[in-house]
């Protein structure tokens, strides 16, 4: 495998490679068949923000058009031991194929613009006590889905809901599944459990 880094082009030789890119970049380069289906789950830019007004999601919904935001829903939660700080996952950058470099760059820019819009909404419509402050911004946008590779097995809705375990698993997921299971119901199951 060839890589480009600060020392230029180098070759890495190994008997086995584990593709941990999240998008299957290595698997794609190795020629494994894949598809990118229509209606991918959109990526999200997360941020930690202090001083947001109560009812922030309602404010976003009410004023979204003024700030160029799509009709959407997100979620947020207080940071443990810091109830005045919220972890905000309000953004979705729709119609993005994040395994494409140009689309990924555009999504990174748009996700940050959306965070700025949320702060502007809070400052303009959050009331006198609202004093939002961006404390932390994710270094990259959070990608949910890109390529789906042809594999020996494809996860099913029942696998997810029953927490099915596989003997050759290399990772466990702990994220609650209702939104993603709903998405699986809308589309044929496409996520491989292993390559």
Residue 63 and residue 34 share a domain: no
Q: Which structural domain, as residue segments, surrounds residue 152?
A: 2-39+144-186
Alpha carbon distance 108, 191 (integer Å): 24
Alpha carbon distance 79, 172 (integer Å): 23
Residue 89 and residue 32 share a domain: no
Alpha carbon distance 193, 59 (integer Å): 40
User: Tokens standing for 66?
Assistant: 């003024």
Residue 120 and residue 164 share a domain: no
Residue 193 within a domain: no
Interval 26-78: pLDDT, tens: 999 989 999 998 989 999 999 999 999 988 999 999 999 999 999 887 888 89
| pLDDT at site 171 | 76
Residue 191 within a domain: no
Residue 125 and residue 109 share a domain: yes
Interval 76-100: pLDDT, tens: 889 999 988 999 998 899 999 999 9
| pLDDT at site 176 | 63
Please tell me whether the overall predicted TM-score, pTM, comes out greater than 0.75 for this model.
yes
Q: Which of 85, 99, 79, 75 is nearest to 22 (CA)?
A: 99
Residue 66 and residue 51 share a domain: yes
Residue 124 and residue 53 share a domain: yes
Residue 122 and residue 62 share a domain: yes
Number of domains observed in the structure of the chain: 2
User: Tokens standing for 6?
Assistant: 């600060």
Residue 113 and residue 152 share a domain: no
Alpha carbon distance 48, 74 (integer Å): 14
Residue 56 and residue 78 share a domain: yes
Hey, how many other C-beta atoms are within 10 angstroms of the C-beta on 32?
Answer: 16
Residue 14 and residue 66 share a domain: no
Alpha carbon distance 89, 69 (integer Å): 14
């Amino acid at each position: 495998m060839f890589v480009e880094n600060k020392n230029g082009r180098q070759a890495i030789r190994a008997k086995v490679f584990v593709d941990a890119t999240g998008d299957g970049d290595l698997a794609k380069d190795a020629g494994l068949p894949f598809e990118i289906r229509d209606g991918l789950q959109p990526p999200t830019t997360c941020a930690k923000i202090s001083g947001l007004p109560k009812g922030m999601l309602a404010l976003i919904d009410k004023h979204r058009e003024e700030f160029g935001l799509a009709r959407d829903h997100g979620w947020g939660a207080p940071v443990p031991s810091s109830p005045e700080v919220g972890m905000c996952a309000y953004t979705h950058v729709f119609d993005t194929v994040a395994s494409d470099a140009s689309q990924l760059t555009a999504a990174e820019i748009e996700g940050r613009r959306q965070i700025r819009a949320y702060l502007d909404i809070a400052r303009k419509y959050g009331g006198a006590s609202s004093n939002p402050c961006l404390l932390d911004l994710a270094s990259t946008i959070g990608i949910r889905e890109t390529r789906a590779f042809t594999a020996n097995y494809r996860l099913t809705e029942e696998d997810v809901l029953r927490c099915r375990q596989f003997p050759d698993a290399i990772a466990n997921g702990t994220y609650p599944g209702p939104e993603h299971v709903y998405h699986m119901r809308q589309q044929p199951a496409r996520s491989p459990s292993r390559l």
